[in-house]
Amino acid sequence: MKILIVNPNTTASMTRKIGDAARSVAAGGTEVVAVNPADGPVSIEGPYDEALCLPGLLTEVKRGVADGADAVVVACFDDPGIDACRALVPVPVIGICHAAMQVAVQLADSFSIVTTLGRSVPVLEGLAVRYGMAQRCRRVRAAEVPVLALEEPGSAAAQQVRAEVRAAVAEDSAEAVLLGCAGMADLAAALSEEFAIPVIDGVAAAVKLAEAVAGLGIATSKAGLYAPPVPKAYSGTLSAFAPRTP
C-alpha cells in the first residue's frame, strides 16, 4: 500500500517531520510518501492562508494519485480542501483533524484540542460541529505559538504546547488531548507518557485510518458531493486547473 501525505504549506522541514511521524506508525508493507507544494504559504494560519494553499494541495494530490497512491492524507489540522480533493481523485482522502477526533472517541469520552494561534480556535470549533464531535470536545486551546516556531530549535514552542496540555487535563477534565497542528507530530508520545492520557497526533491517526479504509478496497463515492468536477474552462492563471472530460 502507498500513502501520499501532503503538507499543504511549503515548509520542507515540517514535511520531513510529518513523514517521519507517519512512517513510525505505518504498517510494514506501507510506503509513505510525504510532499509539499512548491507554491503557497509557508504556514497555514487562518482562512486566507487556507484558501491560497489549495492550488498547490490539489496539484500534489492529483500527481500523487497518478503515481499510484492508494490513499491521501492532508496534513493540516484545519482539514483544508478535503471536499475538493475527494472530488478530484477516487482514492480515500483523510484529514488529520477528523482522523484525530475519530481515534479520540474510541479511547476517551471527551477531549480538548491544543492548537497554535488563537485565530485557529473558531476554525477547529467549527470542525467539531461539522464532524458531530461538539459534545465530546471540551475546549479548543491556543498555545499562542506561530506554526513556524515549532520548527525552530531551542524555541519555547514545545513548552507552551505542554503547558496547554497540562491545563486541558487540570481545567477541562479532558480525557484525551489532540495536538492541533501537524508540526506538533513529534510531541505526542512524550506528552502521552507525561500526562498518562492519550495525546493524539492527527498525522499518525490519519495514516492508520487511511490504511484501514484503503485496505477495504472501496473507492470514494462519486454519487453526490464528491462527484467529479463539471468540465468547463477556467480563466487566467488558473486555466491549468480546468476540469476536463475523462
> CB of 42 within 8 A of CB of 7?
no
Cα–Cα distance list, 216 to 27, 84, 99, 142, 158 (Å): 15, 22, 17, 37, 37
The partner residues of 32 in beta bridges, in order of sequence, read 3
- In the chain, domain spans: 2-96+205-241, 97-202
- pLDDT at position 245: 77
**Average pLDDT value for the chain:** 95
Cα–Cα distance list, 231 to 64, 208, 235, 240 (Å): 21, 34, 13, 12
Residue 192: band (very low, low, confident or very high) from pLDDT cuts 50, 70, 90:
very high
Q: Rounded to an integer, what distance in angstroms lies between the CA atom of residue 224 and that of residue 139?
A: 33
Region 145-154 average pLDDT: 85
pLDDT exceeds 90 at position 244: no
Q: Rounded to an integer, what distance in angstroms lies between the CA atom of residue 119 and that of residue 77?
A: 13
pLDDT tens track for 47-73:
999 999 999 999 999 999 999 999 999
Region 1-12 average pLDDT: 97
- pLDDT at position 177: 98
- pLDDT at position 25: 96
- pLDDT at position 151: 85
| Helix (H), strand (E) at residue 62 | helix 47-66
- pLDDT at position 155: 81
Q: Rounded to an integer, what distance in angstroms lies between the CA atom of residue 92 and that of residue 226?
A: 11
CA 134 to chain centre: 18
Region 13-24 average pLDDT: 95
- pLDDT at position 153: 80
For domain 97-202, give the CATH number. Answer: 3.40.50.12500
- Give the SS3 label for residue 188: helix
Whether 2-96+205-241 and 97-202 share one fold: the answer is yes
- pLDDT at position 152: 83
pLDDT exceeds 80 at position 95: yes
Q: Rounded to an integer, what distance in angstroms lies between the CA atom of residue 28 and that of residue 223?
A: 34
**Architecture label for domain 2-96+205-241:** 3-Layer(aba) Sandwich (3.40)
Region 176-191 average pLDDT: 94
